[in-house]
């Protein structure tokens, strides 16, 4: 990314620095980075995610100053933060709701990447690093949810760690090693705190790689067409700093509504009861952002098969660049793929909905139905099976074969073509993009 | 295709329409939503109500329920029942001092010279002294049941203050069809339970609610209010539920006030950013 640099060190200090540690050149290159000029608001979530990571790390470091990672003191120290620490309630609510906001943003970012084919060559590694960030985020969020040591923290930790116990032969040993004891207990909390402090910096490192891998091929864009000339791009600064800044500001408004007016809306009331190994809550549910996977896990009665399905569900995300055989990047020019994609989003939402309910809960309350296999057709178990089946079919059947069968719309020659010409004169596909804005 | 779909829908409807007997399950009466001064984005605590609720807690609930995260000085914190701008340092607040000095229970300490247990009057720095020294003592005095700590009760129950109000007002005589009701338990329509194993009547008409270990705590005017407000069971229940909501979320007033200012700030900031964006992008065709 040096060919777009026009940096000439002006002062003696800058020249001295440039010959030793070209940090000024580096930041100028970041700011001048040529970026497609047609990126829409879905592209602002990268910046929003960087903002979220920063917020979580800063608030988390302050919380750790007041938190006591011991089984006897954790719950009390959280109440100490909420009641006695100056603005401790604000810092904690930003951190706990910030985790949810982080996932809202990352899910939009992932769906955007899928819709516009941002995982396709030459951006496979960029996508893989992103998937690794997402996986690390899930682990970090899970460890963090255990720290308040409430009922849902404790029993959530029990359920999630027991997933590893399902692995044949070595499973129980792995589980003991993971929780540091024969059951979830004080040593578990200590190590989860340690890992919860470590992983955000792993994420930060992966984010650096993610941005590096982005800056080699450059941004994808809503047309999916490669940048052809300088007229297709604008400098990152000030064009995208101001646009991302505006989007971050809108995002913070939503964030603040949760923090100030409904701070417990995304949590679970049971986590305000101290952890009690002798009293199991009526419904053990993870945080909302893990619910789709929880539904997949519980859709299969056999524990090991459920765990395998869970692993494959996440693995599919990593394999997506090689599962999709279409040569057209953006779904803007793939009308059929767009429909399948819409159903995929719906399937993910349904899985999340099922994950929040018990498998035996009725979908339509009061409506009686017959059983297929082990459960009623009018149960969350079957709804999550159907949605889960589509989830896997979308990755493993639709993506590999749709690209070979479909007839894509004509793709514009360059980014500037659909932008500069009148919609009527543009290729058919270019006008069929009502979401293109900014 | 469309015809096939219609047939499938009809078939599904027929299949799903077949009635099955109601399964036994945990039930409770649906929560009645009360009018709370603290509802909504601008709702604040009603200080008079918090004082009345505190009186109910002191005279009734605190006989069995601890409230371990509330110190006496918290009662005089901003937004609290005895907050007064005259006493920005809550330790100077005469109400707080008087409440601590007159608290019915003493603080147990270790005498530093002899190592023996000793007792002293609480000060505003102390936690509202709990009725029992530990959980075992609490269970022993309450028929084996453990009265939950009330600091986070409103936050730890679905429905919060509505649920607390419903429990406090939900005691009813045990229905006639209930046989072998457990001794020392009380029927409450709002307490989640499953009465089907006690019920001898129509299996499709099992009464909602369950048996709770707490005897009905409130009676009309068991607590009288210094401000002359009515003291029916419902009034006492509503006031103590509001107090417990404050105990769970004592910073709510401050949070919503700051939140309103933050919203105004962010609204203006976003507008400025939007116009900067329009101005910077005005010459770019995109």
For A22-52, the pLDDT digits (tens) are: 999 999 999 999 999 999 999 999 999 999 9
The count of CB pairs under 8 A between chains A and B is 100
Question: Domain end: A233, A261, A284, which one?
Answer: A284
For B169-222, the pLDDT digits (tens) are: 999 999 999 999 999 999 999 999 999 999 998 988 999 999 999 999 999 999
Q: Which of A229, A215, A233, A263 is nearest to A89 (CA)?
A: A263
pLDDT for B113 equals 93
| Integer Cα distance of B157 and A74 in angstroms | 21
Parent domain of A13: 1-32
State whether A7 and A57 are in the same domain. no
Band (A426; pLDDT cuts 50, 70, 90):
very low
| Integer Cα distance of A426 and A417 in angstroms | 7
Mutate to test the interface with A, among B9, B14, B16 (most CBs of A within 10 A): B16
Q: Where do the H-state alpha helices sit in chain B?
A: 2-17, 47-59, 94-101, 135-141, 161-169, 233-248, 252-280
Q: What three-state secondary structure class fits A340? A: helix
Mean residue pLDDT of chain B comes to: 91
For A65-83, the pLDDT digits (tens) are: 999 999 999 999 999 999 9
**Does any domain span residue A385?**
yes
Structure tokens at A337: 């793929």
**Does any domain span residue A420?**
no
**Does any domain span residue A413?**
no
| Cβ atoms of A202 and A212 closer than 8 Å | no
From residue B252, alpha-carbon distances to A102, A259, A261, B262 in Å are 24, 11, 9, 15
State whether A187 and A208 are in the same domain. yes
* DSSP 8-state secondary structure symbol assigned to residue A398: I
Contacts of A250 in chain B (CB under 8 A): 270
| Cβ atoms of A291 and A351 closer than 8 Å | yes
The verdict on A386 touching B (C-beta cutoff 8 Å) is no
Q: Which of A96, A85, A47 is nearest to A255 (CA)?
A: A96
Contacts of A38 in chain B (CB under 8 A): 286
Band (A250; pLDDT cuts 50, 70, 90):
very high
Contact A37 B284 (CB under 8 A): yes
Question: Domain end: A225, A259, A284, which one?
Answer: A284
| Integer Cα distance of A292 and A347 in angstroms | 9
Closest chain A residue to the Cα of B11, Cα to Cα: A369
State whether A358 and A272 are in the same domain. no
**Does any domain span residue A347?**
yes
Structure tokens at B62: 């605190």
How many independent structural domains does chain A possess? 3
Q: Which long-range contacts (CB under 8 A, 24 or more apart) does A8-13 make?
A: none
Mutate to test the interface with A, among B247, B270, B278 (most CBs of A within 10 A): B270
State whether A196 and A49 are in the same domain. yes
**Does any domain span residue A416?**
no
What burial letters (b/e) apply to B3-32, b meaning 16+ CB within 10 Å? eeeeeeeeeeeeebeeeeeeeeeebbbeee
pLDDT for B7 equals 52
Closest chain A residue to the Cα of B247, Cα to Cα: A83
**Does any domain span residue A429?**
no
State whether A217 and A256 are in the same domain. yes
User: Which residue is listed with tokens 């601890």?
Assistant: B66
Structure tokens at B241: 């539920």
pLDDT for B82 equals 97
Any bridge partners for residue B178, and if so which? B199
State whether A223 and A342 are in the same domain. no
**Does any domain span residue A61?**
yes
Any bridge partners for residue B109, and if so which? B118
| Integer Cα distance of B233 and B217 in angstroms | 9
Q: What share of chain B is helix, strand, coil (3-state, %, to 5)?
A: 40, 5, 55
Mutate to test the interface with B, among A40, A83, A149, A437 (most CBs of B within 10 A): A83
Question: Domain end: A284, A312, A331, which one?
Answer: A284
The verdict on A246 touching B (C-beta cutoff 8 Å) is yes
Q: What three-state secondary structure class fits B108? A: strand
For A176-225, the pLDDT digits (tens) are: 999 999 999 999 999 999 999 999 999 999 999 999 999 999 999 999 99
| Integer Cα distance of B47 and B50 in angstroms | 5
Contact A269 B157 (CB under 8 A): yes
State whether A245 and A377 are in the same domain. no
Q: What is the CATH number of the domain that holds A75?
A: 1.20.810.10
Rounded to a whole number of angstroms, the distance from the CA of B231 to the nearest CA of chain A is: 30
State whether A271 and A180 are in the same domain. yes
- Strands B186-188, B117-120: parallel, antiparallel or unpaired by DSSP? unpaired
| Cβ atoms of A227 and A31 closer than 8 Å | no
State whether A146 and A230 are in the same domain. yes
State whether A343 and A362 are in the same domain. yes
Contact A260 B19 (CB under 8 A): no
From the list B74, B155, B276, the residue facing A264 with the nearest CB is B155
Contacts of B260 in chain A (CB under 8 A): 260
Residue B141's CB is within 10 A of a number of other CB atoms, namely 14
**Does any domain span residue A131?**
yes
Dihedral in degrees, nearest 10, Cα atoms B223, B229, B234, B237? -60
State whether A130 and A100 are in the same domain. yes
From the list A239, A264, A370, the residue facing B280 with the nearest CB is A239
pTM: 0.91
State whether A266 and A319 are in the same domain. no
Contact B155 A83 (CB under 8 A): no
């Amino acid at each position: 990314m040096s060919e777009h640099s026009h940096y000439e060190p002006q002062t003696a200090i800058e020249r001295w620095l440039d010959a030793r540690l070209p940090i000024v050149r580096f930041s100028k290159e970041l700011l001048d980075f040529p970026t497609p000029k047609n990126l829409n608001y879905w592209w602002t979530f990268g910046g929003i995610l960087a903002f979220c990571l920063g917020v979580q790390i800063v608030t988390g470091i302050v919380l750790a100053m007041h938190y006591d990672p011991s089984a006897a003191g954790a719950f009390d120290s959280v109440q100490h933060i909420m009641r006695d620490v100056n603005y401790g309630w604000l810092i904690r609510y930003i951190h706990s709701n910030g985790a949810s906001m982080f996932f809202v943003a990352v899910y939009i970012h992932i769906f955007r990447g899928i819709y516009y084919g941002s995982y396709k060559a030459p951006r496979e590694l960029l996508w893989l690093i992103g998937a690794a960030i997402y996986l690390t985020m899930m682990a970090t969020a899970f460890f963090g949810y255990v720290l308040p040591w409430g009922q849902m923290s404790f029993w959530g930790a029990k359920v999630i760690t027991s997933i590893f116990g399902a692995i044949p032969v070595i499973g129980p040993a792995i589980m003991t090693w993971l929780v540091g004891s024969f059951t979830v207990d004080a040593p578990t909390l200590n190590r989860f705190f340690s890992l919860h402090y470590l992983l955000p910096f792993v994420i930060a490192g992966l984010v650096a790689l993610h941005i590096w891998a982005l800056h080699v091929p450059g941004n994808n864009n809503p047309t999916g067409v490669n940048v052809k000339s300088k007229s297709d791009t604008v400098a990152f600064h000030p064009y995208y700093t101001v646009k991302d800044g505006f989007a971050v500001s809108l995002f913070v408004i939503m964030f603040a509504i949760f923090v100030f007016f409904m701070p417990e809306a995304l949590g679970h009331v049971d986590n305000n009861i101290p952890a009690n190994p002798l009293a199991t809550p009526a419904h053990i549910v993870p945080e909302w952002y893990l619910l789709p996977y929880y539904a997949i896990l519980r859709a299969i009665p056999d524990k090991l098969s459920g765990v395998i399905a869970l692993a494959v569900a996440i693995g599919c995300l990593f394999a997506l660049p090689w599962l999709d055989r279409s040569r057209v990047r953006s779904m803007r020019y793939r009308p059929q793929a767009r429909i399948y994609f819409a159903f995929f989003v719906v399937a993910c939402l349904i899985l999340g909905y099922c994950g929040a309910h018990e498998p035996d809960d009725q979908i339509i309350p009061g409506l009686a139905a017959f059983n297929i296999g082990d459960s009623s057709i009018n149960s969350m178990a079957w709804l999550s099976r159907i949605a889960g089946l589509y989830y896997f079919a979308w990755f493993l059947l639709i993506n590999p074969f749709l690209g070979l069968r479909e007839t894509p719309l004509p793709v514009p020659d360059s980014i500037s073509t659909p932008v500069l010409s009148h919609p009527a004169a543009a290729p058919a596909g270019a006008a069929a993009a009502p979401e293109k804005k900014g | 295709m469309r015809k096939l779909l219609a047939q499938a829908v009809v078939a599904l409807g027929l299949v799903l329409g077949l009635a099955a007997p109601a399964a036994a399950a945990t039930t409770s009466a649906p929560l009645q939503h009360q009018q709370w001064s603290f509802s909504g984005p601008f709702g604040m605590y009603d200080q008079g109500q918090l004082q009345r609720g505190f009186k109910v807690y002191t005279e009734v609930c605190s006989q069995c329920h601890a409230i371990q995260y509330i110190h006496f000085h918290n009662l005089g914190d901003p937004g609290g029942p005895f907050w007064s701008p005259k006493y920005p340092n809550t330790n100077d607040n005469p109400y707080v001092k008087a409440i601590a000095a007159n608290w019915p229970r003493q603080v147990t300490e270790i005498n530093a010279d002899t190592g023996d247990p000793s007792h002293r009057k609480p000060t505003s720095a102390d936690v509202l002294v709990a009725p029992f020294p530990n959980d075992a003592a609490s269970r022993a005095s309450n028929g084996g049941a453990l009265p939950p700590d009330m600091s986070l009760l409103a936050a730890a129950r679905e429905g919060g203050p509505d649920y607390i109000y419903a429990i406090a007002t939900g005691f009813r005589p045990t229905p006639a069809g209930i046989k072998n009701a457990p001794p020392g338990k009380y029927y409450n329509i709002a307490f989640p339970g499953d009465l089907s194993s006690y019920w001898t009547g129509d299996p499709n008409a099992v009464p909602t609610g369950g048996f709770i270990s707490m005897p009905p705590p409130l009676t009309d005017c068991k607590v009288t209010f210094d401000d002359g407000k009515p003291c029916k069971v419902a009034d006492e229940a509503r006031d103590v539920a509001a107090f417990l909501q404050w105990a769970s979320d004592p910073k709510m007033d401050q949070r919503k006030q700051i939140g309103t200012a933050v919203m105004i700030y962010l609204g203006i900031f976003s507008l400025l950013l939007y116009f900067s964006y329009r101005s910077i992008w005005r010459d770019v065709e995109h």
